[in-house]
Structure formats: structure tokens, C-alpha cells
Amino acid sequence: MPTVPYDDFADVYDAWVDTVPVAEAMRSFYVELLAESDGPVVELGVGNGRICVEVARRGRPVIGVDSSAAVLELCRSRAREAGVEERLELVQADFRDFELETPAALITIPFHSLGHLTSDDDKLRCMRQVHRQLAPGGLFVWDHFVFDPDYPGQSGTLNLRAETRDPASGRERLVWECSSRDPERQIIDILVRVEDLGEGGAVEATRYVRMEMSWIEPKRSRDLMAESGFDILELYGDFQRGDFTAESTHQVWVARRPS
């Protein structure tokens, strides 16, 4: 597969994820969901394994799919350290055309990862592929943030996202984020600056990673799932399964492929 943005982002992936306010609630939601499901279960956008490795620790085999070889290696290393590597099947593939040997009972897309597909056509293609890879009656569960229309006014500011250390050298590392938003196209352009510090705090190395993230309105989410052939079972407003309201910051969808 071609290089993807997260290939150059793998060594700061943990710090990036850990600074998301809902990261722990989200992880708990998906771990419970995957661990308790019967039949083959799949996590699309498996990342560094923070969800699937915990599921495997509970004795549950899980299939993890990601487009980034570097991030999949993080997941593989985490599984190896936890002693559960044999319970994971890791697949390097795109959300839009991944293939499973056996139809799944549950396919998930955690952590707003559908937003890496930046057009409605790509999102629809992904949902249709999920539908094809599910067994009849199988579940599709995914989440996304609810875009705040007032937030674009804060774009263009460089913010310190995380203070961490280079896993190879141990040097102190700063991860900065700057974003610009296009409400008409529903795209967030994210520029990440990674600085490695030497003694005395001097910057010894700097690199940049750019990626795009889209958002999707709840009504459009519903329309795309219906167009893909899903029956919608639930829409939650948080990862505690609370009702979705006008004040909800997240949309958490549970849909089913009809039997």
C-alpha cells in the first residue's frame, strides 16, 4: 500500500490519542462491546491496539484493520508484550475495500476514524463494504464528533498538544497542533509539528506531518447508513449510551445488516 500520514506519525501516536478528552470512555465502550460479542469481531482503524489488545486480554480473538504499516507494528508490539499476539489477526487494508475470510458478527470504527475519509462518496463506499463483510444480522458500530460551528473561529493557532519522549532515544519531545477548518467542505486540515529537544531545552530536530479530517452531520450519517442498506438501532450522544440531544458532542451509531 502507499504511504499514509500515520506512517510518519506512529512514534507520537500514543501521546496524540491520550490527549483526547473522551479517549478512556471511548476505549471502555468498544472493549466491552467487542469482548461480549459472539462470532468474528473486527476493529477498523485499529491504531496502536489500545482497544483490540485489551479485548484479546479478555480471551477474545479480534481482527484489526489499518492502512498504516507503521501503526500496525505498534499494535503488534503491544500485543506481543501483553502475550496475546496469537489472538490478533492484523490486516493492512483500506476501510473502503478490506476483505474478511469469514463474515463478521460485529465491525467497529472507533475514534472518529471515519473522518479520515474526506468525501461522502468515500464514506458511502466504506459503509457499503462494511455491509458486505458483515454476516446477516451483524452489527456496525461507529462514532464521530459533532462539529461545533463556533469552533472554526479558533483555527490557525498553534497549540501544544502533548509533552512526551522519543521512544527510541528518550529525548524530550513536544507535539504541536495547528488546524484550519473549511465549513463548506466539512474538512479540518491538521498540521502537526514534532520537536525533539536536547539538553537545556534546545530544539535539535523538527518535522511536520499534515493530515485531513472531515466531519459529518448526524442527519447525513443516518442517510448514508440507510443508503448502504443498514437498519439503524441506536444513536447515542456519548460513550455511556446516553440519549442523543442538541447538546451532544458525539454521535455513536449502532446499525444492523438485515437478516
Residues 175 and 136 in one domain: no
Residue 2: predicted pLDDT: 45
Are residues 84 and 168 located together in one domain of the fold? Answer: no
Regarding whether 229 and 192 lie in a shared domain, the answer is: no
Do 126 and 236 fall into the same domain?
yes
Task: List, in sequence order, every residue forming a beta bridge with 205; answer none if it has no partner.
Answer: 196
Q: Identify the domain containing residue 161 by its residue range.
A: 151-214
- One domain for residues 66 and 155: no
Distance of alpha carbon 177 from alpha carbon 160, whole angstroms: 6
Residues 72 and 94 reside in one and the same domain: yes
| Whether residue 102 sits in one domain with residue 85 | yes
Q: Check whether residue 9 and residue 29 sit in a common domain.
A: yes
Q: Are 165 and 100 in a shared domain? A: no
**pTM score of the predicted model:** 0.93
Same domain, 14 and 34: yes
Statement to judge: residues 24 and 136 lie in one domain: yes
- Non-local CB neighbours of 109 within 8 Å, separated by 6+ positions: 43, 44, 45, 95, 126, 130, 141, 142, 143
d(CA 56, CA 187): 35
Q: Which pLDDT tens digit goes with each residue over 177-227?
A: 999 888 889 999 999 999 999 988 899 999 998 889 999 999 999 999 999
List the CATH number of the domain containing 252: 3.40.50.150
Residue 3: pLDDT band (50, 70, 90) is: very low
DSSP reduced 3-state for 196: strand
Q: For the residues of 89-145, what is the DSSP string, one character each?
A: EEEE--TTT---SS-EEEEEE-TTGGGGS-SHHHHHHHHHHHHHHEEEEEEEEEEEE
Same domain, yes or no: 164 and 38: no
Q: What is the pLDDT of residues 88-143, one digit of tens each?
A: 999 999 999 999 999 999 999 999 999 999 999 999 999 999 999 999 999 999 99
Number of separate domains in the chain: 2
